[in-house]
Structure 1
């Protein structure tokens, strides 16, 4: 897009406006913004009951703002920046903090730079998190607590998430975190995680606590270096006409092979805030529908059938609502634009087909037969059978997230994947995720071979010595391994959890697998062959299966009813 260049007169006007401060009369105030409604917690539904055990309220309240009934979500574009260049697509208004607050306005097409002057990192501590359980799972919470206290640890429980109300609908994403005391430094917490893997075969995460928030001081310049003003805190930018922004050198895929930088365009507004390290975090303030326009194309093939794209749009909307307020609790945003939350490229990533799917399903989300928002998760290829939620994430069974065969009609003689996974993997199943233009045969069924030396290196942190035997002890409805016994020359340990098991063996495509051990003449293992099916956790929507179903004539509502066990699509805002 061609941008008009600034003129000398325009630069002089901007500079004068920024530097006069309170010495000269301030310009007439802009028209008042549209009313902003903050969604406050609504009374708890009767079935939610009292908080389980002694769970304290969340340390900070994170709520969605609703403009004209539609949520606005702060999404991190990048952080750890000391300089950010951006160009408004229309007239821009910028707010700089200080005494008094400065307001800078500039015409569209003006290249502006936010520069870091100085900052202070957040004072953070970390607790090891052993599990994240459903709010209503009192028995599971008590058992998890007793398990760790029985091992000599002091346990802390914390509430995660909130109860929200939007247009009369209750959105409840509360969960309970099981944490180990005390709060530690990052290095100490990481060392404790390593000890837990070695001692108990348990992989954990870290829960962050901010004791003192990060601070940052910024300066706003023209692209040629002409200063426009400094800010004693975040800078916020908006285009009153809704034209949005171009942001240059946006860093993406941090930690992945496709890591790089790209100029991208975004709808909504921008905020330049302090990240945890005291440098600049760039945050896009975007409505949920505009967020989905830039998110859905990264989750599914844009050339997929329209009904599959609609199914993806509804599930993505529900997952955002279910996750907001449960991640990035110590950050100046609610979601990130990477795989940790969902890949989001803004207007740059939009396509006509996915935009049409988002618009056709505007304000729609899945609700269970009990009337509660469904955490509408999804994965790429279920492998012919979806999985139960508790097999992957623990907690109580969710009636909307039950594993079931991914077939269009019953198949006589289909082996039970839980009881006979080897026969199921070899069975010629007409699965929805196996058919159609976008089927992925090497993900639907796959093999991965490790030499004994390679496998020993992968499990070395477990402290069991050279591996002698791998034995699945528990499987889920789809055949995914839930509990795996690893036996070695120096002992044995159990790995629990679908993701824990996949990561331990170099991030397997899925935990739906069998293992064949090749041995030499003396009975010593020389290789381990994993034969598996599927790509991802397998819970909820199978994206490739949704495409197959759409190509077979199912509409998006029928697709969603299948994958979410009868859940219905409901309007939560217009």
Structure 2
């Protein structure tokens, strides 16, 4: 991106933030209604959030551009930006009870009219993009989210969600940045000498990439790494008062950093190509999505997808990206949402078992077997999960170290883990509350000496018990007639289990299958399309 284009990009973001601060609907402007050329798409990244300061390493001169346009050129080296007199960015919280597709305008208006009669002021916001294919067709991934209310605090939004839940209306919330943060920035060299002082925001320009030091990348565990990122970078103050580092990347450049972080570069090329297509599709389907109202598309945390930065590119993964350039999976006129996880344990899972939201026809529970070896029963739940975990025939992903796993906790150990979030006291019993066809728990009831709690959804269940490999598991207690002495979790797979099984893809590629066949194994009713 040229310096002129970078400044224009930042100015457009500032205009967007100012518009939201005036109460305008940022999604009502038509840019996202126009089809996007994916090859020209610039993904807006939030690379890092630093608490008090951020360190940068540049091998070429670093140009600081202040909010008033003043410039300061620093020599190559390591520079630290510190913030003081911080005034966090302001935000509000939208509460969304429902979404509508682009062709459902009448239904959406009727829905909003009904809420108006109840005293609410619903607002429709557009998320997602439209993309043109090489053949001239349009894949439309826009969705209209109905915002029922804009709350001043997260606590107010949570209270409204609880009120709606009591009325059998299930809602979710997302923050919107309504005014930028402010701070006094100070830039120092490695010896602490002050090179520049000024007000936030600040732009960093450089003819080469800039390394951001000590970036948080982990989700399950605290994990940090240095990330090499494309300049220019924009430094802003976020809603929590931290220094946020933002930038922009072309789609294919971003994908070159995602692929080696998601799959080992040494794996067979057809597995890497399947991962490249799945990741490209998932990125485009999620673009202008849940972070839209905060002014960016993705973070570098695993909650979006793993990202290795510009320094993580490898020849093998670059080849897979290049040989599949522009390839996506499409279904029903959209870029398909093609998620993936490490090991499915022999059977993938329905998306609506794992996450809230309607069933996605591309993300159905499917067997991870060659056709000739598939069990007759339609999944672990039909097979009988205990029998499945102990005696099902080996799947494509059977070589994964956590294809089958067991964890044993003493009652004290497990109670300590659970009570970090749920104050139930010493655990007396854990009761499963339904499973998906792929065997993943939908919910569990944890009963303790101080009360009981129902934990919903796959990720929350895994986190409640200290980070289980998956929610495809059976829980048994030792000492059922009294307070149990220990709990045993016997399970299969690693990750959420929806979509492509990465270990299964590796095995299929090693057996000679092409990336198209691998993708069709895991995603129902999809077609390869080139943008």
Map Cα deviations across residues 179-221 of structure 1 (whole Å, 9 max, x no partner). Answer: 7x6725456778999x99xx99x99975223343313454677
Equivalent residues in 2 for 1:9-408, closer than 5 Å: 69-80=39-50, 84-86=54-56, 88=58, 95-98=65-68, 101-102=69-70, 109=76, 116=83, 118-126=85-93, 159=125, 161-166=127-132, 168=136, 169-174=138-143, 176=145, 183=151, 185=153, 207-216=174-183, 218=185, 227=195, 230=198, 233-239=201-207, 244-253=208-217, 257=221, 259-260=223-224, 262=226, 264-329=227-292, 331-368=294-331, 370-408=332-370
Partner of 1:411: 373
Query: What are the superposed Cα offsets for residues 235-275 of structure 1, whole Å, 9 maximum, x if unpaired?
Result: 25253xxxx3232524233676553453x433453222333
Does the 8 Å CA contact 1:137/1:396 hold for their aligned counterparts? no
Moved more, 490-499 or 398-407: 490-499
Note the aligned Cα RMSD (angstroms). 4.5
What is the DSSP-based 3-state SS (H/G/I as helix, E as strand, rest coil) of the residue aligned with 2:361? coil
Residue matched to 1:482:
442
Query: Which residue of 486, 499, 504 maps to 1:527?
Result: 486
User: Residue 444 of structure 1 aligns to a residue in which SS?
Assistant: coil
How far off its partner does 1:366 sit? 1.1
Contact 1:73-1:334 within 8 A present in 2 as well: yes
Task: Tell whether the 8 Å contact from 2:88 to 2:181 is kept in structure 1 after alignment.
Answer: yes
Distance 1:60-1:111 versus aligned 2 partners, 3 A rule: farther
Check conservation: 1:386, 1:539, Cα contact below 8 A. Answer: yes
The Cα of 1:412 is off from its aligned counterpart by 5.9
2:391 aligned with 1:427: yes
String of CA shifts for 1:430-475, please: whole Å, max 9, x gaps: 21111xxxx323x111112233444445555666665544333422
- Correspondence for 2:432: 472
C-alpha separation in 2, matches of 1:372 and 1:347: 29
Equivalent-residue separation in structure 2 for 1:321 and 1:388 (angstroms): 21
Q: 1:236 to 1:154 in 2, by over 3 A?
A: same
Partner of 1:515: 475
SS at match of 2:273: helix
* Local SS of the residue matching 2:485: strand
Structure 1 unmatched runs, 5+: 1-29, 41-55
Give yes or no for contact 1:274–1:332 (8 Å, CA) kept in 2.
no
**152-161 vs 493-502, greater mean Cα deviation:** 152-161
Structure 1 residue 66, shift from structure 2 partner: 6.8
Q: TM-score, normalised by structure 2?
A: 0.77
Where 1:475 maps in the other structure, the secondary structure is: coil
TM-fit CA distance, 1:548: 0.7
The answer as to whether partners of 2:36 and 2:130 remain within 8 angstroms in 1 is no
What is the CA-CA distance between 1:509 and the residue it aligns to? 1.4
Q: Is the 8 A contact 1:66 1:72 kept in 2?
A: no
Structure number, greater radius of gyration: 1
Deviations 1:259-297 (A, max 9, x none): 3453x4334532223333455322232211111111211
1 CA distance for matches of 2:200 and 2:429? 60
Unpaired segments of 5 or more residues in structure 2? 13-24
SS in 2 for 1:298: helix
| 2:15 alignment partner in structure 1 | none
DSSP-derived class of the 2:405 partner: strand
Aligned length: 497
The answer as to 2:463 corresponding to 1:495 is no
C-alpha change, 1:504 and 1:398, in structure 2 (3 Å) is: same
In structure 2, what is the equivalent of residue 13 of structure 1? Answer: none
The 8 Å contact of residues 217 and 233 in structure 1, kept in 2 or not, is answered as no
Offset, 1:563: 0.8
